Chain A
Amino acid sequence: MRAAMTGAIVAAVVGCGQDAHRGAVLAADARAGQAALYAYDCGVCHRIPGVAGAHGAVGPSLEAFGKRIYVAGRLPNTQAMLVRWIIDPPAIDPLTSMPAIGVDEAHARDMAAYLLSLR
């Protein structure tokens, strides 16, 4: 438990009720995440509401991603899991066609915060 938290700053626990299963939230800035999703060209493959030019149809649409139960059809959609996935998808699923595009952890956290805010 403590090990899982290492490196993570517990900033807040948002919206008790429906989001309780999302657990602790890593310090992050959703606004910056929105910009990072643009800067890393995530929209080439994904449709992402609020990100200019993000109309890709290679991967699934990320609309309402904050409501999604699983990441990549297998990981529980928590912020920590999503960060791991964004940084290095093949490390989690060697079969995935989503590449590791060199997102650093701070950016990944911000991106995750933005994606989880999509309802």
Chain B
Amino acid sequence: MASGRFLRLRTAASAIAVFLVLLAASAAAVMYAGIYSVAATEQHLAPTFRLLDVGLRRSVERHARNIDEPLLERDADLERGRACFIAHCEQCHGGPGVGRADFAKGLLPVPSSLAQASADWRPRELYWITSQGIKMTGMPAWEYRLDEHALWSLVAFLRQLPLLTPEQYQRERVRAPQACERAEASRQAFLAADAKRGAVAIQQYACTACHRIPGIVGPQSHTGPALTAMGRRRYIAGVLPNTPENMVRWLQAPQAVNPHTAMPDLGLTEANSRDIAAYLAQLR
């Protein structure tokens, strides 16, 4: 009796296992054969869209749940938030009475209307989305571009946005805009260089778009040299002796070291450069 039930269970388990393997194999086959279209002109199926949307919402809620919100009325600067919005958000998301830029119209998923953002999300969630970005949506992480105060100021402005008439918004746009960026010392400036943070910064400054870097997942690019064993390399860019100081110098201003280099200045902060240099130095 007992052994009969065990046998049935085992048969059922193997059937499920076979089914799962077949499912994975056919999914892989569809991908590999190129049947699935990656075109941005083809919207997801409605159930797929719903699934991704729910996953996104749940993920943001969970990851943002322990963030302490500052008192926005006191600590945030609406003017600065508006300046950041106009400088960095409006291009993709549009604003009241202002359409989005051409490159943002053809994005899939379509960037959300931010007039609705504060109805859809809590302040800490807006902060988290802006700071961390959202994978595979085109929403970048602003953590490496904007400081804490700018991020919360943006959140404060997003809460004001639905209260602005298109006329008011237009007026605020043309008023002499306050700068979003501020030449403040980076909040990481006092920290010792850290290879782990460097690994994140490497992705956040798009290094893998041109370099293959051991330990960092990215496209197999051959635009620049692979950084394999960079810690053992004698020279940086064939020009500078490979010391941590020189690496920081090179990363921050490649064209100041060699005016003809194809490597662009990516606007790295000194703290980020030192972290990246620490990561590269331990590649052996």
Contacts and interface: CB of A to CB of B under 8 A. Distances in A.
Q: Most chain-B Cβ atoms within 10 A of its Cβ — which of A61, A73, A96?
A: A73
The 4 A-B residue pairs whose C-beta atoms are closest, nearest first, are A67-B222, A58-B234, A60-B225, A57-B232
11 contacts: A63-B226, A68-B222, A68-B225, A69-B223, A72-B238, A73-B258, A73-B261, A74-B262, A93-B260, A95-B238, A97-B235
Contacts of B86: none
Interface string A38-57: 00000001010000000001
Given A61-B229, A63-B226, A73 B235 contact: no
Nearest to A97: B235
A73 B234 contact: no
B207 interface: no
Contacts of B225: 60-61, 68, 73
Contact of A93 (B222, B224, B234, B238): B238
A74 B261 contact: yes
B145 interface: no
B232 A60 contact: no
A11 to B, nearest CB: 24
A70 B224 contact: yes
B261 A61 contact: no
Given A61-B229, A73-B224, A93-B239, 9 more contacts: A57-B234, A64-B222, A68-B225, A69-B223, A70-B262, A73-B225, A74-B260, A74-B261, A93-B260
A25 to B, nearest CB: 19
Contacts of A95: 238-239, 257-258
Q: How large is the interface on B (under 10, 10 to 19, 20 to 34, 35 or more residues)?
A: 20 to 34
Contacts of A59: 233-235, 238
B237 interface: yes
B233 A60 contact: yes
A55 B225 CA distance: 16
A40 B223 CA distance: 27
Interface in B149-196: none
A60 B262 contact: no
A24 B232 CA distance: 36
Contacts of B233: 57-60
B263 interface: yes
Contacts of B237: 73
A59 B99 CA distance: 50
A74 B204 CA distance: 24
Contacts of B223: 68-70
A33 B229 CA distance: 25
A88 to B, nearest CB: 14
A97 B238 contact: yes
A45 to B, nearest CB: 8
A63 B228 CA distance: 10
B17 to A, nearest CB: 39
Contacts of A73: 224-225, 237-238, 258, 261-263
